[in-house]
Amino acid sequence: MLRITGLTHSYSGGHKALDGLDLTVPDGQLLSIVGPSGCGKSTLLRCIAGLIRPTGGALELDGAPVTGVPDDLAVVFQDYSRSLFPWLTVRDNVAMPLRRRGGSRAERRAAAEEALESVGLPDASRQYPWQLSGGMQQRVSIARALAYRPSLLLMDEPFGSVDAQTREDLEDLLLQVHRAAKMTILLVTHDIDESVYVGDRVVVLNRSPARVHADIPVALPAVRDQIETRGLPEFVRLRAEVGRLVRGGARIPGAAPATAAQRGGTSGAGEPEADNPPETGPG
């Protein structure tokens, strides 16, 4: 469980990026985070990753305060071109963080090969990152995070710079991995459709300095499909609601998620639970 209370961060120049942000994320949830550009999403992820020390508030992971980079954490940044080492092969890029986990070199390489296979790159392991397309490089970054088997995965606009088809494939890969590994995932995205499509829950942040503006459970069937899910009335409703909220609107009173019967969907394991009641932000 990740518990964030009153998180505040002012950069050294005095710019306040976060202002009293409260957020609790239960284990195994896939939480989408959206908000206006520059509102503080990356700052929030950097604080959770222990990369910057917030100037106020508290961050707790599984009951312990976050004081440095947590052990069981992996991060996927938007800019894959700067996150892979050009002088290492793809396999060694993926295997490198595993040193922290111990084990022999052969074991680390085997784990890397397995992760590369899971992202659909079984043949790329001996190539160098610069020999791959942008989408393939981003798959390598994701494979590196997965090979580490984190309990918490932070992703900052991970699919921002790939083409539409690759983006859909990566979204489905993320859902598949989330189902299989049951890790907690925080995904920052600018794409409102994506936030709803992959999320168990969508949190909308305020314009800078960031706070939680709205917290929306995504009551869609757990198994998602690019064509079918996006055609569901509940998907269309959620997308419109999140879009309105990102533009600064308030949550419409009584706009409760549809029941399973209304959306004609299935329910079952993995169905999101409304951990926090939806809240209306200060606007």
Q: Return the one option of Mg ion, ligand ATP, none that residue 67 interacts with (CB less than 5 to 8 A, by type).
A: none
Interacting residues with ligand ATP between 34 and 53 (CB under 6 A): 35, 37-43
Distance of alpha carbon 24 from alpha carbon 201, whole angstroms? 12
Q: Stretches 1-9, 40-48, 87-95, 238-246: which one binds Mg ion (CB under 5 A)?
A: 40-48
Smallest gap from Cβ 142 to Mg ion, in A, equals 18
Is 54 or 257 the residue whose CB approaches ligand ATP more closely?
54
| Identity of residue 216 | I
Interacting residues with ligand ATP between 15 and 34 (CB under 6 A): 15, 17
Counting residues that bind Mg ion (by CB under 5 A) gives 1
- Alpha-helical (H) ranges within 96-133 are 105-118
Query: Using the rule CB under 5 A, is 83 a contact of Mg ion?
Result: no
| Cα angle, residue 15 at apex, residues 14 and 16 outer, rounded to 5° | 110
Query: Using the rule CB under 5 A, is 42 a contact of Mg ion?
Result: yes
Q: Stretches 5-13, 35-43, 220-228, 273-281: which one binds Mg ion (CB under 5 A)?
A: 35-43
Distance of alpha carbon 217 from alpha carbon 130, whole angstroms? 40
Query: Using the rule CB under 5 A, is 151 a contact of Mg ion?
Result: no
Interacting residues with ligand ATP between 192 and 221 (CB under 6 A): 208
Counting residues that bind ligand ATP (by CB under 6 A) gives 13
- CA-based nearest residue to 11, from 37, 35, 58, 46: 46
Q: Which residue is nearest to Mg ion (CB)?
A: 42
Q: Return the one option of ligand ATP, Mg ion, none that residue 84 interacts with (CB less than 5 to 8 A, by type).
A: none
Distance of alpha carbon 282 from alpha carbon 269, whole angstroms? 34
CA atoms within 13 Å, Cβ hemisphere of 88: 15
Q: At 148, phi and psi to the nearest 5?
A: -75, -15
Smallest gap from Cβ 18 to ligand ATP, in A, equals 8
Is 17 or 162 the residue whose CB approaches ligand ATP more closely?
17
- CA-based nearest residue to 154, from 140, 166, 164, 141: 141
Instruction: To the nearest 10°, report the CA torsion of 136, 93, 76, 237.
Output: 30
Distance of alpha carbon 256 from alpha carbon 142, whole angstroms? 34
Q: Stretches 9-17, 24-32, 84-92, 133-141: which one binds ligand ATP (CB under 6 A)?
A: 9-17
Which residues are at the interface with ligand ATP (CB under 6 A)?
Answer: 11, 13, 15, 17, 35, 37-43, 208
Which residues are at the interface with Mg ion (CB under 5 A)?
Answer: 42
